[in-house]
Structure 1
Amino acid sequence: MSMPPTTPRNAPKKQPAWLVGGLTIISFVALLWVIEIVDTAMGHRLDSDGIRPLQTDGLWGILWAPLLHGGWPHLIANTVPALVLGFLMTLAGMGRFIAATAIIWVLGGFGTWLIGNIGLHCPYVTVQCTSTHIGASGLIFGWLAFLIVFGFFTRKAWEIIVGVIVLFVYGGVLLGMLPGSPGVSWQGHLSGAIAGVIAAYVLSGPERKAREARNRPGQLTS
């Protein structure tokens, strides 16, 4: 007679997903604040390391731009949305959160690098007119778009509900993807949102394939 497996008494207890997700996103936002403290102490020299569109050395900014902010008001404006949307993202699973964030970070940054100079008006500049894009808002817009559409790809009720609630609460923010406000990187917002939709589609692959398999008519052989 075999005995059921037992859990060792000294085995580490698995932490709740909401706690792990909460600590993860709080740590990320805390990192943003630490970086801004350092940047302020350095006279905001780090801000020049953002995304400079269509410049080869500006590609490095894709890695650093979401971590940099143009002063405390900029960071404070991004803090609450980053905490709320980032936490909701972790509820889809830490693996998906990390993968989605990586996709949004890279694709959204590359999109900003491609279109970041569109609409730029520099009437008194005789050399190449360009801009530098920094801030976590592109990442936030990516998270926002991901949360809105992810449930419609997976067809899971609770993820659809989350998407509808997020759209209701933060839907007005999507207007930030449109040109109009001077000094605001609508190009980064738009690129981040598009990357978020792409991430949602790619990472919903298992659910979409399972649904297609269930809906596929049975095959008859003779």
Structure 2
Amino acid sequence: MASPHDHAPAGTGLDPAQMIAEARRAFFVMFGFLCLVWATQLVNWLLDGRMAMMHGIRPHDPDTLKYLLTAPFLHANWQHLEGNSGPLFVFGFLAAYRGVRKFLGLTAMLVVTSGMTVWLFQDGDTVTVGASGLVYGYLGYVVLRGLFDRNLIDSLIGLVMGASFAYVLTAAVPGTPGVSWLGHLGGLVGGLVGAWLFRDRSPGPAAVPSADGTLPVPAPAPGAKGAQASAAPASPRAALLKELDDLGL
């Protein structure tokens, strides 16, 4: 009798029911995060923007290092928040739907890489706030995660999303007025590194024993006298993984 993991998507270690549950959690996590960000901006607006000025990142100022934790929740104005909300939800959901716990660890990492890049290298006469560093981090994570996890669906999603939002990468280079390209770059690099650090480490699917308890072994290939044949793939998914291995992916 096959185990539940024989029907799980490659590289996930989860069966379909678990994946649906994780996707549901991811949706509510991102919905709650957006609600929190919008509620914070409402308070900031009522205070004429003083909240963002007081709790943003000021480069090279040790007293503002603690504001690395608050800056992603704050925005300069409503237009700033509106521009971040769509990509934040889309890429945040894609980053979280295969594991909310990994997603929370990734988010903590992006807060540090994006904020510290600003704190270390930004001009000293600025205050930086906004969730765009997280957006770039989630983008980088989603694009590379499928390759590291050898998951064909995630790879395709990453390529499509990367192509669809390629224009946002232009804000990760110098020259955009009023935009902290360093924060974007720090988040993007953090997401790329996070795709490797948080890669799936679960073992691949094992071959399913037959009724007599033996594993299926194919007949030796013609001309391979006395050679021990390797075990046959347990499923078409295993065959796909072998093809990816042969391609070096």
Q: TM-score, normalised by structure 2?
A: 0.71
Against the structure 1 CA distance between its residues 109 and 208, is the aligned structure 2 distance closer, same or farther, given a 3 Å change threshold? farther
Partner of 2:96: 90
Structure 1 stretches of 4+ with a deviation exceeding 3 A read: 207-211
How do 1:107-186 residues align onto structure 2 when only pairs under 5 Å count?
A: 107-117=113-123, 129-186=124-181
* Alpha-carbon shift at residue 96 of structure 1 (Å): 1.3
Corresponding position of 1:26: 31
Structure 1 match to 2:201? 206
Q: What are the equivalent positions in structure 2 for 1:17-96 lying under 5 Å apart?
A: 17-48=22-53, 49-96=55-102
Q: Aligned partner of 1:45: which letter?
A: R
Q: Is the 8 A contact 2:148 2:196 kept in 1?
A: yes
Whether the 8 Å CA contact 1:111–1:188 is kept in 2: the answer is yes
Letter in 1 for 2:103: F
Q: Flag the 1:114–1:33 CA change in 2: closer, same or farther, 3 A.
A: same
Q: 1:187 to 1:209 in 2, by over 3 A?
A: farther
How much identity, in percent, do the aligned residues show?
Answer: 31
1:7-51 deviation per Cα after TM superposition (whole angstroms, max 9, x unaligned):
xxxxxx987222221111011001100000011111211112111
Which SS does the other structure have where 2:165 is aligned? helix
The answer on whether the counterparts of 2:58 and 2:127 sit within 8 Å (CA) in structure 1 is yes
Ranges in structure 2 where 5+ consecutive residues have no aligned partner: 1-16, 206-240
Q: Are the equivalent residues in 2 in contact too, given 1:154–1:208 (CA < 8 A)?
A: no
Distance 1:207 1:167 in 2: 26
User: d(CA) in 2 for partners of 1:39 and 1:132?
Assistant: 15
Q: What is the SS of the residue equivalent to 1:179?
A: coil
Amino acid at match of 1:114: L
Find the aligned partners of 1:171 and 1:209 in 2 and give their Cα distance.
33
> Counterpart of 2:68 in 1: which secondary structure?
helix
Residues 98 and 73 (structure 1), Cα distance of their counterparts in 2 relative to 1, 3 Å cut: same
1:153–1:208 contact (8 Å) kept in structure 2: no
Q: State the AA in 2 paired with 1:68.
A: L
Distance 2:170 2:203 in 1: 30
What SS is found at the alignment partner of 1:16?
A: helix
| Counterpart AA for 1:32 | V
Contact 2:56 2:128 in 1 (8 A): yes
Higher helix share: 1
Q: 1:52·1:133 contact (CA, 8 Å) conserved in 2?
A: yes
Cα RMSD over matched residues?
2.3
Task: Give CA deviations for 1:97-122 in whole Å, capped at 9, x if unaligned.
Answer: 111111111222112211122xxxxx
Give the superposition deviation at 1:166: 1.1
Task: State whether residues 23 and 98 of structure 2, in contact with CA within 8 Å, keep that contact through their aligned partners in structure 1.
Answer: no
Change (3 A) 1:209 1:199: farther
Figure out how many residues of one structure are paired with residues of the other and give that number: 189
Q: By how many angstroms is 1:207 displaced?
A: 5.7
CA distance in 2, matches of 1:209, 1:39: 49
- What's the TM-score, normalizing by structure 1? 0.79
Q: Residue type of the partner of 1:58?
A: T
Q: CA deviation at 1:92?
A: 2.1
